[in-house]
Amino acid sequence: MSKHGVFVLEEATALTVPITGASAVQVVIGTAPVNMVEDPASVVNVPILATRATEAMAELGYCKDFKYTLCQTMYATSNLYQVAPVVYINVLDPAKHKKPLPETKADVSTLRAEIKIPGILRDGLEITAGETTLTHGVDYTVEYEADGSLVINLIAGGAGEDAAEISVSGQVLDPEAVTKDDIIGAYNPSTGKETGMEVIRQIYPKLGVVPSIGLAPGYSQIPEVGIALSAKMANINGVFKGIALLDLDTEKARKYTDCKAVKENSGFTSEFCYPLWPCFRVGDLVFAASAVVGALVSYTDAANDDVPYMSPSNKIMGVTGTCLADGTEIVLDQDQGSTVNTYGVTTAFNSNGWRLWGNYTGAYPASGDAKDIWFPVRRMFNWQGNTFIQTYFSKVDNPMNPVLVENVVDSENIRCAAYAPDKWAGASIEYLAEDNPTTDILAGKMTFRQHIAPYTPAQEITNILNYDTAMLTSALTGGE
């Protein structure tokens, strides 16, 4: 076919578009009031991705009884900060973690009765009006209030229509029956089923997100749980890295000077953990510090272009105080807070608003390596590594030729340059002959060397004041 005129052809861009995702996806392991959902068994030991807190509440149930520990994160990511996504792993199993509900009577008003006991299960529920046993769907329906109370709605025309009082018995969830072993979890070789923290492995292949912040409010203060969570976050799917937010046990650390011994005795000394003390209060609600800080870290990242270069330290938290888990008030000043920081523990104090205070990971003070001791620097290394893996995974098994080398080097240098100088001092990547001997090339291995320079936080700003007597003399003498 003949052509006549001026023509333009386009070819595909050689640069690879980075796949970054969210930099602070929380994975929260704990317990939820699953009796409030239609099929409680379906949400046990499975990763549930919520793009807003209301989704999590609908999927897992919600009440302000924070013995259901996942509810702390639901509240923090809805009412303290509007942040998402969050991955929830509920380990509370209604088939195992339950106890009998003693027969309870409730007055009926306008065909409605309320049992103010959270956690009552629908299955096995028995409701009687006098000597008559009522039938679900025929004589009554059930629903749950925000505080977890069970509401029985009697159906007009049903057997309980004229009842002034009903009796309720059955089973109720027992979140206190959940143990550290349930949180840590296990792999069953005969069934292939994973529980607890083992479910973290499923998040990326199943949901397509990399969990970069791990927490277990209400449980991470247990040394075995905290250590296990740090280890899981340090090696996700064999390739990704995250960091665990760990709470110190406030029954052991009842004052700020206890934090050093409790942190060390708990084994919270990994660069992949961020130890926290004490708990935080919002009105009458008491939160594990990790639940609030997890939301704060996610919010801080989101407010800074989804790059984790900004420390959450010295950021207003929106809480009303600090306390021990039993509610005992804790009031630190800046000097005491800074002392806690020297132990490698982050805390909070009030300075025109309650502020998080601390930049060190658990590796401090034992380590002096800047990439490991600074929380934002460690997270930048995690983020860069995770981003690199996701961005160039599609290149695996491509021909190992100069086109591939050039694509990776050019794409990565351009991407990294966009973050300098505000988010890091700089970054560069290179392909060196000495890193890629012939034996490696023949074995299908290629190695790049990347240099990144995240900023350390300005932890100490000093202004040296002196008395300028010459200035004083000049002012008093008029310069004579």
Residue 16: its pLDDT value, please?
Answer: 61
Average of per-residue pLDDT across 90-119 = 94
CB atoms within 10 A of CB 343: 26
pLDDT band at 22 (very low <50, low <70, confident <90, very high): confident
Residues whose CB is less than 8 angstroms from the CB of residue 83 and which lie 6 or more positions away in sequence, other chains included: 77, 295, 298, 299, 302
- Mean pLDDT of all residues belonging to the chain: 94
Distance CA 46, CA 43 (A): 6
pLDDT of 168-188, one tens digit each?
999 999 999 999 999 999 999
Distance CA 51, CA 85 (A): 4
Q: What pTM value is reported for the model?
A: 0.93
Instruction: Note whether 151 and 165 are within 8 A (CB).
Output: no
Residue 21: its pLDDT value, please?
Answer: 46
Distance CA 74, CA 85 (A): 11
pLDDT at 33 over 80: yes
Listed residue (243, 331, 344, 314) closest to 280, CA to CA? 331
The CATH number of 26-93+179-375 is 3.40.50
Q: Is residue 307 helix, strand or coil? A: coil
Distance CA 157, CA 37 (A): 27
pLDDT band at 318 (very low <50, low <70, confident <90, very high): very high
Distance CA 14, CA 475 (A): 68
Percent of the chain with pLDDT over 90: 93
pLDDT at 13 over 70: no
Listed residue (328, 360, 351) closest to 260, CA to CA? 360
Residues whose CB is less than 8 angstroms from the CB of residue 387 and which lie 6 or more positions away in sequence, other chains included: 18, 19, 20
To which H or E segment does residue 381 belong? helix 375-392
Residues whose CB is less than 8 angstroms from the CB of residue 389 and which lie 6 or more positions away in sequence, other chains included: 239, 240
Positions of E strands within 108-256: 112-115, 126-129, 132-133, 140-144, 150-154, 165-173, 213-215, 243-247
Q: Where are the domains of the chain?
A: 26-93+179-375, 98-173, 401-480
